[in-house]
Structure 1
């Protein structure tokens, strides 16, 4: 039978396999993240799979990191000596990404996009978003499976369990009609501030 033992040190924590052959070092624990009870994490070779109340989501992982689960905690180890100067940056990045993934499948994320302009309209049909933004043609955009859209008067509400994908998708749509600087017409995010310019004054 193999058991796992801990050996505390000043800078990090060592995880060992204890067996009849003795104690074998597994890896240094550089970061620990608590896993909520209603989230399950499956560790694969190239990614982490997070499963929770709002579905599942993957996170690609770099070869320089090892992951291990013990006592409802995700343990992270950095093993690339050549990149040791960037160790802290990589660990902080993945710690933030992991917490973001867990929040997504627990609570989800929401972004509001406002349609500000005369005649601006939005329609949703058959997983397609159609926008009328004052052009001579309408704009058709496919809605991904992991994003839901609620169409309200002059407002679109986007929800997803993937924050990074959600923000990229909403900004992609927003680029079809960026707010213009004179009247502020366009597609605006909630709490977005537009600094308006004065129009050209006619000569008398």
Structure 2
């Protein structure tokens, strides 16, 4: 039984939530997000948003809590937004912002250029990159794509890592 799914979702004053069948649109000060959810769930909007499921199958139970969490993430995204911070570690590793694009020099013979997806912006401050946006999933995916350009390696610690990530270091060869 989903204990999370049964709780009602409070809608802040500055957020407008509309429902069209199984498509939910959330509008707020930072933008608008639209997502389609499973038609196997009943979503009702009054002063607060209430989600109920049709049956007690395992799939419906899983979707129940997931849907509620996704709607809360949409509401938080259009009010506050999301951001992920990445750090560059390594001699000569640097990031530059050229227009809206991000250019990384991380030890390859050529710079790696990353174009932002719609709704994503980059900020560069020295060796720190900040990925900002209103869609939590998209911000996390873009940050993961940047990290995948040069993952941190365990011997010297060089690479791109999340700001709160801790790299487990390995001991090198002994003579």
TM-score > 0.5 by shorter chain = yes
Q: 2:83 is paired with a residue of what secondary structure?
A: strand
Q: Of 104, 109, 122, which residue of structure 2 is paired with 1:149?
A: 122
Q: How does 1:165-176 map to 2 (within 5 A)?
A: 165-176=138-149
Q: Deviations over 1:114-151 (max 9, x none)?
A: 01111111122232111110111111111123111111
Deviation at residue 161 of structure 1 after TM alignment: 1.0
Larger RCO (CA under 8 A, 6+ residues apart): 2
Residue 78 (str. 1) matches residue 57 (str. 2): no
d(CA) in 1 for partners of 2:116, 2:92 = 22
Deviation at residue 34 of structure 1 after TM alignment: 1.6
Give unpaired runs (5+ residues) of structure 2: 1-5
Q: Of 105, 112, 133, which residue of structure 2 is paired with 1:160?
A: 133
Contact conserved, 1:109 with 1:159, CA < 8 A, in 2?
Answer: yes
Residue 139 (str. 1) matches residue 112 (str. 2): yes
Tell me the matched-pair count.
171
Please provide the CA RMSD for this pair: 1.7
Contact conserved, 1:31 with 1:91, CA < 8 A, in 2?
Answer: no
Q: Give the structure-2-normalised TM-score.
A: 0.90
Higher Cα Rg: structure 1 or 2?
Answer: 1
Contact conserved, 1:31 with 1:77, CA < 8 A, in 2?
Answer: no
d(CA) in 2 for partners of 1:128, 1:165 = 16
Q: 1:169 is paired with a residue of what secondary structure?
A: helix
Contact conserved, 1:50 with 1:102, CA < 8 A, in 2?
Answer: yes
Q: 2:8 is paired with a residue of what secondary structure?
A: strand
Deviation at residue 43 of structure 1 after TM alignment: 0.9
Contact conserved, 1:114 with 1:188, CA < 8 A, in 2?
Answer: yes
Q: What does residue 86 of structure 2 align with?
A: 113
Q: Of 57, 76, 81, which residue of structure 1 is paired with 2:33?
A: 57
d(CA) in 1 for partners of 2:92, 2:169 = 21
d(CA) in 2 for partners of 1:141, 1:33 = 36
Q: What does residue 6 of structure 1 align with?
A: none
Q: Give the structure-1-normalised TM-score.
A: 0.78
Q: How does 1:121-136 map to 2 (within 5 A)?
A: 121-136=94-109
Give unpaired runs (5+ residues) of structure 1: 1-29
